[in-house]
Structure 1
Amino acid sequence: MELEVRHLRALCAIADTGSLHKAARLLGMSQPSLTTQLRRIENALGAELFTRERTGCRPTPLGRDVLSRARPLVAQLALLVSETRAAAARTDGARFRIGSTASRALAGWLRRLRQRLPGTDITLHMDVSANALLRALAAGQLDVAFVHEVEGCPLRVPDGLERLVLVDREPQFISMARDHPAAAAPVVDLADLAEDRWMVDPTVDGEWDGLRRVLGAAGIDPPVLHADYHTAASLIVVGEAVAPCQPTSGPRDDMAIRPLRDDPLAVRLLLYHRPADPGGPAAPPYEAAYAELAAAYREAALRTSAYRQWLLRHGSPLLRAG
């Protein structure tokens, strides 16, 4: 077996995520397929590159040496592809490539950008992993990345990226069944959810670590379900679980969304971009992107009653923004 670029990408993804499951999701393949591929790579090299532990995968000393050689090759190939695509885009017309984690502000942001940048080909790449989006941005595959950073769990930001802060601390609300006893109150105490199953998506960077830290500080050790948030909704509405959610989440007839007392769970909303090249072609419209994102986020925030009330109680500058 000869090593190919896809094998090197797989090794880098496993090292970056520390997990075969997360790496497989990042690469768009199944975990069994990635496990088989890793086994074949190790057999071809005649040595183990990762140790498999209960908490994830860690490179062996030989694995670290292989990775130190693989990363520059993968990065150079990604740069070659992105520069070639950028050159084609300059020939064909303006293009603006957006990466984003999930947000209720996305639809309004895209609508505003299309109005502000007529004739620009605006594309959107969604990913649950903020770190994956930042790596794509650093490799030139995106022009901006709108991501959230879980409080207490810093993102792994590649060198050279520049950051604009949209919201320094966005509280995370809690979603539960409409007939949950805690839903009768406008604000929920963590203690009222101590007996519930909590649902978390472990592939969202920092989500599980941040939740575990907050629950531990409150002296709560509930059973936890690991699943994606699309699956979560069906479990929440029948009372099988509760889950953190964005405060901009819209109301539903079969689900209650409430703020947590003292806002123990929070994220920062950030827009990253690469620095403009003074000697290169015209820089992507970073300032316009940020301004339209801020306006779209404000629209989404004020459209949701529970979050609007929270903003009023806290005297948020969003209420005064134009």
Structure 2
Amino acid sequence: MDLELRHLRMICAIAEAGSVSKAASALGLAQPALTTQLQRIERAVGGALFLRDSRGTRATPLGDLVLARARLVLPAVDGLQDEVTALVGADRIGQYRIGATNGPVAAGLVQRLSATRPASPVTVHATWSADEICARVLAERLDYALVGACDPSLPAGADGLVWQPVCVDPVWVLVGERHPLAGRAEAALAEFAGEQWASAPGDGCFTACFATACARAGFTPRPPLEMDVGGCIDLVAAGNAVVLCQGTVRAMPGVVPVALTGSPLRWRHLLGWRPGGPAAAAAGELHGLAVQAYLDVVAQRPRYADWLGTNPGFGAQPVTAAAVSRR
């Protein structure tokens, strides 16, 4: 993992708050999510940045070094962003700058938007970090956020944005084709106790939600192996791990999706934007195109389409009278 600006902001927040729990509250994150991020950052830099004792959280010598640099870098970057935003702000009318995490909607949305607005430039910033995308929209560096979150929650960085759900999907388990449960239409989450899990990076609450669902099913999951999506699929196909996936997952050689009985985990995709301005004016149209893109994907997944037919409440979500917001 490369050290990013948002990581430096997290480190500064922990140092200023004097504890991870207070920093998590200030950042709008769940404490387990911030703790996980700190552990990843420390692995990236090669050592502990903070020590915890009866007096709270204190920076280590390595932490002092990183903090000193961060306190120089962050104000400079913020100033640069403000100047760039002011300079190009007037030229953004008619453009669509979309930030997207992994999901079934982004590619189809871009295709439909390009077809309906051929004279309007469309750009996509793809990343696994929903928090990064939310921050970029708030800073007016992106117009829209297309991100995922556990249903019915919002991303941790959602404050100040308006949100409309695009779709709600069940979370299933992807197993190797020779796995004992591969031939089952569905299985209880408890039947996966003892499995080695793998997962792609993410900064939302999903890890904590998964652990909670497992606890309710009567077991504690083994710590997941974290790697890119392709690496996760390779592990599953080789029979060395299982991964959580969305119901819209496409067919791939060597792996089989298994539905979870009772759908204990749900994942929804959300379209977010800043209230007011050109992005807000076009948000309704963009949401409609996103829903159509999602329905196109479902039409290509016959098994999932059949599952949706007997499980109301999932699938595409209509525009609500009042969009969800956190301010």
Return the TM-score normalized by structure 2.
0.74
Matched, 1:127 2:127: yes
Structure 1 CA distance, aligned partners of 2:10 and 2:231?
A: 25
Give the counterpart letter for 2:248 in structure 1: T
2 CA distance for matches of 1:232 and 1:316?
29
Greater shift, 81-90 or 137-146, is seen at 81-90
The secondary structure found in structure 2 opposite 1:184 is coil
In the TM superposition, what is the alpha-carbon distance from 1:23 to its structure 2 partner? 5.4
Cα 1:282–1:193 change in 2 (3 A) is: closer
Sort the Cα spacing of 1:302 and 1:204 in 2 relative to 1 into closer, same or farther, 3 A.
farther
Q: Work out whether 1:84 is the aligned partner of 2:97.
A: no
Cα distance between partner residues in 2 of 1:160 and 1:257: 37
Bigger drift between 103-112 and 255-264 goes to 103-112
User: Is 1:294 the equivalent of 2:291?
Assistant: yes
2:238 maps to 1:238: yes
Write the distance in 1 (CA, Å) between the matches of 2:7 and 2:279: 34
Deviation (angstroms), 1:59: 7.4
Alignment match, 2:324: none
Distance 1:175 1:78 in 2: 41
Question: How big is the alpha-carbon RMSD for the aligned residues of Structure 1 and Structure 2?
Answer: 3.6
For 1:261-272, what aligned pairs fall within 5 Å after superposition?
261-272=261-272
Q: Does 1:203 align with 2:216?
A: no
Contact 1:78 1:140 (C-alpha < 8 Å) held by counterparts: no
State the match for 1:3 in structure 2: none
Q: 1:20-35 maps to which residues of 2 (within 5 A)?
A: 20=38, 22=40, 31-32=44-45
Equivalenced residue count is 285
- Kindly state the Cα deviation for residue 76 of structure 1 after the two structures are TM-superposed: 5.0
Number of the residue aligned with 1:174: 173
Unaligned runs of 5+ in 1: 1-5, 25-29, 40-49
Pair 317,178 (structure 1): closer, same or farther in 2 beyond 3 Å: closer
Change in 2 beyond 3 A, CA 1:52/1:80: farther
Q: 1:95 to 1:209 in 2, by over 3 A?
A: same
2:116 is aligned to: 116
1:62-81 map, 5 Å: 75=78, 77-81=80-84
Q: Which amino acid aligns with 1:83?
A: A
Instruction: Kindly state the Cα deviation for residue 20 of structure 1 after the two structures are TM-superposed.
Output: 4.5
- Matched with 2:325 is none
After superposition, the C-alpha distances for 1:283-317 in whole angstroms (9 at most, x for unaligned) are 66222211100100111123212321220111457
Identity %: 24
Which digits, 9 at most, give the CA deviation of each residue in 1:101-142, with x for residues without a partner?
111222211110001111111000111111111011101110
CA offsets, 1:37-72, max 9 Å, x none?
Answer: xx9xxxxxxxxxx6246xxx9677xx9x99999978
* TM-score with structure 1 setting the length: 0.76
Structure 2 counterpart SS, 1:257? strand
Q: Which has the higher relative contact order, 1 or 2, with Cα contacts under 8 A spaced 6 or more apart?
A: 2
Q: CA deviation at 1:194?
A: 1.6
Q: 1:9 to 1:150 in 2, by over 3 A?
A: closer
Mean Cα displacement is larger for which, 259-268 or 301-310? 301-310
Aligned to 1:181, what secondary structure does the other structure show?
Answer: coil
* 1:138/1:191 CA distance change after superposition, 3 Å: same
Distance 1:131 1:188 in 2: 33
The equivalent residue for 2:274 is 274
Residue ranges of structure 2 left out of the alignment (5+ in a row): 14-26, 28-33, 319-327
Give the distance between the partners of 1:158 and 1:75, measured in 2 at CA. 19
1:225 is the counterpart of 2:224: yes
Q: Closer, same or farther in 2 for the Cα pair 1:11/1:115, shift >3 Å?
A: same
CA distance 1:8–1:125, change in 2 (3 Å): closer
Q: CA deviation at 1:252?
A: 1.9
